[in-house]
């Protein structure tokens, strides 16, 4: 599984997005837009899950905000730190 | 000014809603679920009364429920059922207070966090799980879903939790802080509690005398939620009756003054060292009943007794008691058949940890 | 909300990282210093600074129960100071109708580590630890230690628990169900809370800076504050002025989000309005405000806007720069500080604040110890989950 595929699966499962499949998340769409309906707790949960599953930490939301814009930005952030 | 019970929402081993509770009272039993706790020395089997929260989806859309765990779901469903029963779900309402009581708190979350943060070598903590474990999480969710900005309170004082919640609810109404109060309680089953029951009722246990006197068949761990809508009332009639009084104290240090002309619903459920002491405080004439055989042993069980008392007011019937041997029944006037309520009030009494007591009385 | 009778506070006890008794805490605050550090009471790889009580404060020879949780030890220590401050002895309390109402965050969790999922899996018996858990509730601990016989309640309203406990306890006195209430808040520095807050990314990795442009989040702290509330009848028998009065209490919920503060501050405004109306105080009578001021981006911004709108020009400060955010104890500890500041006629510098945030309105917290006049003040707490609680307090020689 690619990093992007793994991230999509992680997001759907750990945020309990039952009505969306991982494949339906576009690589470049905003994660915090209307479609997924995520909020700030989801954001920190993604940070936690990324740390658990990829070993890559995000220190604070100043660092996290640009990284969490989309699957693309998040995958790039992780890859740069692996 | 009286405090009337406008609506009731309950869920537990007996089912979901006041109609299921009534059915269970009529039949005289509820269905247990066989739980299995895996240990290194083999499986331990423990029966439990579990609550089903499927009906919550008819009140809250799926997406709003996605992060919500079983404990909070039980509380939310109890709240919505109570509001529905009170015809207040969609009606315009005045300022409402929200009070949620719990004996154990969000137990499963707490122990999972304890494991992930303390027991594990590399501590970790899911933010969603941590947020849900904070004791006022359920009250927060309900205020957000109802868009209610009135006073909001969560309390947790083991077996006095629901009584203290009713004390505050009545005070808020008397003070005219709010027009109504959504007050209730929730406790959940966890494998820790199942295991605790096993320790207590294991044949080899020498530590808890009261458990030695109790038939384990009457000590089933329960989970569930019980919620009420209370409001100030000046009109005479209220089908579920009125909350007449709430009292708390310590019976070991000061005794208890109990109301007269009452049927007593006792909070004996197989988990309190004081289960066999009710006989010391009740007269031989007073009719007594216990209903934990329908909802199980949980700190907020008194809330179910209050719901049953309200039903008794509505139906003018006191339902027959469970048949536990804990009551020294030759010295207590146990209600063995359904009987007419007459003009009696109903007093829901709990003798609890540390000698504390709490009672809530309802009148018609 | 109709105006209510003031409720007298006969005695106060307070323990936190700033001091083991209230006077010591206040001396520390007026010095304007602080020294948070990574936790020492439990081992952790995380290094976010906290404000722990570093001394071995629990005088076990003074208490019946020794094997109790730290949250209870803090509560009992503060209670003993409060009882002594009020001039009561233990025997007297046992003859009166005394209730207890304590706020806590941690104190009601099963954080006694001697039993866990693992012990169930290992088939270890844990009846004794479970029984101990049942008594690890700080309110029960106080009830057992001082043999009290009135109503008991434990408030678990997250960060506003301490303020709510005081407000509720005052109602018990007014309604006549108790002669005396032991009320307050307590919380220990606890590993799960510490890790949990870290996971929410709202901790500052340096000493917190409430209201400052460079604020990054909160520091956690621990402590307890306890108050002895007494009825008018008891007060008459005491033949002395009380230490202080609770003039009013208000609370309201944001109904917005589980962790974020409501941006328009409406919940806080409603709570302030209720507290002010119930106390019968005019806005110009408020000498200062002890703000919640955690040092998080959201809280401080919203709070500063509300304070500027409702109390323009009134000095305000946060003491969390000295104590950290003591969670369930915060409302009570800060009520104690508020009363002590009124007594002294002086408020401490809002430590951690140096540079104005241009996003905030043109009013900022006190930058140096400030002499104040007036005998009424407001203290507010904004909790996780959106509850806002406000207390209006006055000194004891106030004639209600």
Q: Is residue C400 part of a domain?
A: no
* C282 belongs to a structural domain: yes
pLDDT of residue A64: 87
Does C151 contact B113 at a Cβ distance shorter than 8 Å?
no
CB of B291 within 8 A of CB of B226? no
Higher pLDDT, C400 or C36: C36
Cross-chain residue pair A15–B66, CB shorter than 8 Å: yes
Confidence of residue C334 (pLDDT cuts 50, 70, 90): very high
**pLDDT value of residue C266:** 97
Taking the C-alpha atoms of residue C214 and residue B226, their distance in angstroms, rounded to an integer, is 47
Residues of B with CB under 8 A from a CB of A: 62-63, 66-67, 124-128, 131
Judge whether residue C400 has pLDDT over 60.
no
Residue A72 CA, chain-centre distance (Å), reads: 9
Do the Cβ atoms of A64 and C201 come within 8 Å? yes
The radius of gyration computed from the CA coordinates of chain C, to the nearest angstrom, equals 20
Highest mean pLDDT among B142-156, B184-198, B269-283, C64-78: B142-156
What is the ipTM score, two decimals? 0.96
**How many of the other CB atoms lie within 10 Å of CB of A33?**
11
| Exposure on the CB side of residue A37, measured as CA atoms within 13 A | 12
| Nearest-10 Cα torsion for B191, A44, B134, B170 | -130
Q: How far apart are CA C89 and CA C83, in angstroms?
A: 7
- Closest-approach residue (CA) in chain C for B135: C156
Residue C148 buriedness (CB in 10 A; 0-12 / 13-18 / 19+): buried
The secondary structure element, H or E, covering residue C375 is none
| Nearest CB neighbour to B62, from listed A15, A18, A48 | A18
Query: How many percent of chain B have pLDDT more than 70?
Result: 93
**CB–CB contact C151 B164 (8 Å):** yes
Report if residue C2 sits inside a domain: no
Out of B107, B160, B199, whose CB is closest to C152? Answer: B160
Question: Taking 90 as the threshold, does the pLDDT of residue C274 lie above it?
Answer: yes
Using CB atoms within 10 Å of the CB of residue C31, give its burial: 0 to 12 exposed, 13 to 18 middle, 19+ buried.
middle
Residue B121 has pLDDT above 70, yes or no: no
Binding-face residues of B in 259-318 toward C, CB within 8 A: none
Instruction: For domain B2-363, give the CATH number.
Output: 3.40.47.10
Q: Which of residues 21-60 of A touch C (CB under 8 A)?
A: 39-41, 44, 47-48, 58, 60
**Nearest CA distance, C199 vs chain A (angstrom):** 7
Say if CB C279 and CB C3 are below 8 A apart. yes
Look at residue C1 and tell me if it is in a domain: no
- Residues B214-253 pLDDT 10s: 777 778 999 999 999 999 988 768 999 999 999 999 999 9
**C45 and chain A: CB distance < 8 Å anywhere?**
no
- The confidence score (pLDDT) of residue B205 equals 61
- Cβ C201–A41 below 8 Å, yes or no? no
**What is the predicted pLDDT for the residue at C88?**
95
Q: In angstroms, what CA-CA distances link B177 with B180, C44, C133, C171, C278?
A: 9, 45, 35, 12, 10
**Structural domain count, chain A:** 1
Test mutation, B57, B61, B66, B113, chain A, max A CBs within 10 A: B66
pLDDT of C191 reads 87
Distant-in-sequence, close-in-space partners of B203: CB < 8 Å, separation ≥ 6? none
CA distance B139 to chain C (A): 8
Asked if B51 and B16 touch (Cβ cutoff 8 Å), the reply is yes
CATH code for the domain in which residue A35 is found? 1.10.1200.10
Residue among A38, A40, A42, A51 with most chain C CBs within 10 A, to mutate: A40
Pair C293, C324: CB distance under 8 Å = no
Per-residue pLDDT, B125: 83
Residue B336 C-alpha, separation from nearest chain C C-alpha, in angstroms? 33
Q: Bigger pLDDT: C256 or C1?
A: C256
* Euclidean distance between CA atoms C153 and C141, whole angstroms: 12
pLDDT digits (tens, 9 = 90+) for B43-94: 888 899 999 999 999 999 988 899 999 999 999 999 999 999 999 998 889 9
pLDDT score of B291: 95
Of chain C, the end-to-end C-alpha distance in Å amounts to: 18
The answer to whether the Cβ–Cβ distance between B66 and A18 falls below 8 Å is: yes
- How far apart CA C11 and CA C34 sit, in angstroms, is 27
* Residue A5 dihedral angles phi and psi, to the nearest 5°: -65, -40
Residues 100-159 of C with CB under 8 A from B: 105, 108-111, 113, 115-118, 120-123, 125-128, 130, 134-135, 137, 139-140, 143-144, 147-158
pTM higher than 0.90 for the full model?
yes
- Long-range contacts (CB closer than 8 Å, 24 or more residues apart) made by B90-95: B93/B179, B93/B180, B94/B178, B94/B179, B94/B180, B95/B150, B95/B177, B95/B178, B95/B179
- pLDDT at C128 > cutoff 70: no
Domain that holds residue A12: 3-81
Q: How far is CA C244 from the centre of its chain?
A: 16
pLDDT in tens, B304-352: 999 999 999 999 999 999 987 666 667 889 999 999 999 999 999 999 9
pLDDT tens digits, residue range C19-31?
Answer: 999 999 999 999 9
Neighbours of C132 (CB within 10 A): 17
In the numeric block, the tokens 């029944």 are attached to: B329
Burial class (CB in 10 A: 0-12, 13-18, 19+), B205: middle
Task: Output the domain CATH number for residue C193.
Answer: 3.40.47.10
Q: Count of domains in chain C?
A: 1
Along the 82 residues of chain A, how does pLDDT read in single tens digits?
899 999 999 999 999 998 889 999 999 999 998 888 899 899 999 999 999 999 999 888 888 889 999 999 999 999 999 8
Could you tell me if C107 and C138 are in contact, meaning their C-beta atoms sit under 8 angstroms apart?
yes
Using CA coordinates, name the residue in chain A closest to B127: A45
Q: What pLDDT sits at residue B152? A: 97
Q: For residue B120, what pLDDT is reported?
A: 66
Which residue range(s) make up the domain with C146? 7-395
Lowest mean pLDDT among B11-20, B190-199, C202-211: B190-199
Q: Is there a domain that residue C113 lies in?
A: yes
């Amino acid at each position: 599984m690619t990093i992007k595929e793994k991230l999509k699966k992680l997001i759907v499962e750990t945020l309990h997005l039952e009505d969306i499949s991982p494949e339906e998340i576009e690589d470049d769409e905003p994660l915090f837009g209307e479609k997924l309906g995520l909020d700030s707790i989801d954001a920190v949960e993604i940070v936690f899950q990324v740390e658990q599953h990829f070993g890559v930490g995000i220190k604070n939301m100043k660092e996290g905000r640009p990284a969490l814009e989309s699957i693309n930005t998040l995958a790039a952030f992780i890859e740069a730190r692996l | 000014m009286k405090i009337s019970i406008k609506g009731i929402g309950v869920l537990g081993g007996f089912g979901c809603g006041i109609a299921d509770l009534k059915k269970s009272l009529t039949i005289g039993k509820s269905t247990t679920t066989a739980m299995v706790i895996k240990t290194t020395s083999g499986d331990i089997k423990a029966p439990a009364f579990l609550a089903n929260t499927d009906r919550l989806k008819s009140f809250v859309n799926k997406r709003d429920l996605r992060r919500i765990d079983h404990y909070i779901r039980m509380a939310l469903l109890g709240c919505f059922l109570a509001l529905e029963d009170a015809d207040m779900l969609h009606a315009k309402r005045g300022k409402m207070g929200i009070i949620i009581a719990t004996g154990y708190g969000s137990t499963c979350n707490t122990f999972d966090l304890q494991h992930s943060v303390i027991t594990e070598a590399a501590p970790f903590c899911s933010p969603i799980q941590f947020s849900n474990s904070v004791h006022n999480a359920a009250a927060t969710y309900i205020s957000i879903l109802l868009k209610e900005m009135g006073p909001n309170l969560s309390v947790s004082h083991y077996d006095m939790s629901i009584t203290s919640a009713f004390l505050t609810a009545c005070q808020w109404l008397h003070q005219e802080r709010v027009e109504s109060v959504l007050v209730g309680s929730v406790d959940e089953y966890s494998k820790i509690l199942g295991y605790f029951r096993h320790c207590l009722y294991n044949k080899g246990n020498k530590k808890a005398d009261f458990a030695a006197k109790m038939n384990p068949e009457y000590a089933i761990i329960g989970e569930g939620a019980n919620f009420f809508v209370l409001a100030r009332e000046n009109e005479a009639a209220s089908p579920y009756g009125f909350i007449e009084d709430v009292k708390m104290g310590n019976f070991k240090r000061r005794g208890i003054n109990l109301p007269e002309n009452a049927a007593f619903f006792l909070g004996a459920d197989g988990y309190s060292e004081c289960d066999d002491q009710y006989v010391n405080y009740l007269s031989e004439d007073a009719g007594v009943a216990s209903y934990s055989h329908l909802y199980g042993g949980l700190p907020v069980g008194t809330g179910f007794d209050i719901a049953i008392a309200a039903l008794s007011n509505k139906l003018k019937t006191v339902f027959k008691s469970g048949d536990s041997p804990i009551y020294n029944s030759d010295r207590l006037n146990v209600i063995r058949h359904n009987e007419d309520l007459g003009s009696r009030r109903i007093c829901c009494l709990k003798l609890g940890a540390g000698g504390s007591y709490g009672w809530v009385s309802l009148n018609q | 909300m109709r105006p209510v009778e003031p409720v007298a506070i006969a005695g106060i006890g307070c323990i936190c990282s700033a001091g083991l008794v209230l006077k010591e805490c206040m001396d520390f605050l007026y010095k304007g210093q602080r020294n948070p550090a990574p936790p020492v009471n439990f081992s952790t790889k995380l290094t976010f600074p906290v404000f722990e009580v570093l001394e071995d404060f629990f005088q076990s020879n003074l208490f019946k129960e020794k094997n109790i949780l730290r949250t209870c030890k803090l509560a009992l220590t503060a209670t003993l100071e409060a009882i002594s401050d009020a001039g009561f002895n233990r025997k007297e309390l046992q003859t009166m109708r005394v209730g207890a109402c304590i706020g806590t965050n941690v104190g009601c969790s099963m954080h006694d580590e001697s039993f866990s999922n693992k012990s169930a899996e290992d088939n270890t018996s844990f009846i004794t630890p479970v029984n101990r858990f049942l008594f690890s509730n700080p309110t029960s601990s106080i009830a057992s230690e001082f043999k009290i016989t009135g109503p008991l309640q434990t408030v678990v309203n997250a960060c506003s628990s301490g303020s709510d406990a005081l407000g509720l306890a005052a109602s018990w006195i007014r309604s006549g169900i108790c002669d005396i209430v032991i009320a307050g808040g307590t919380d220990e520095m606890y590993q799960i809370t510490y890790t949990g807050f870290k996971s929410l990314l709202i901790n500052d990795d340096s000493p917190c800076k409430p209201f400052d442009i460079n604020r990054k989040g909160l520091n956690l702290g621990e402590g307890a504050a306890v108050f002895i509330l007494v009825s008018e009848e008891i007060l008459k028998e005491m033949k002395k002025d009380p230490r202080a009065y609770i003039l009013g209490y208000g609370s309201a919920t944001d109904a917005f989000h589980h962790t974020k503060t409501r941006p328009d501050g409406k919940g806080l405004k409603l709570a302030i309005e209720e507290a002010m109306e119930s106390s019968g105080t005019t806005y110009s009578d408020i000498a200062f405000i002890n703000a919640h001021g955690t040092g998080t981006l959201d809280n401080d911004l919203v709070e500063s806007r509300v304070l500027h709108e409702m109390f323009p020009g009134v000095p305000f400060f946060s003491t969390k720069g000295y104590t950290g955010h003591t969670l369930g104890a915060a409302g009570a500890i800060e009520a104690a500080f508020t009363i002590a500041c009124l007594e002294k006629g002086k408020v401490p510098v809002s430590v951690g604040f140096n540079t104005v945030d241009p996003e905030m309105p043109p009013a900022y917290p006190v930058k140096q110890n400030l002499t104040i006049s007036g005998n009424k003040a407001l203290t507010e707490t904004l909790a996780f989950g959106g509850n806002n609680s406000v207390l209006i307090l006055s000194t004891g020689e106030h004639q209600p």
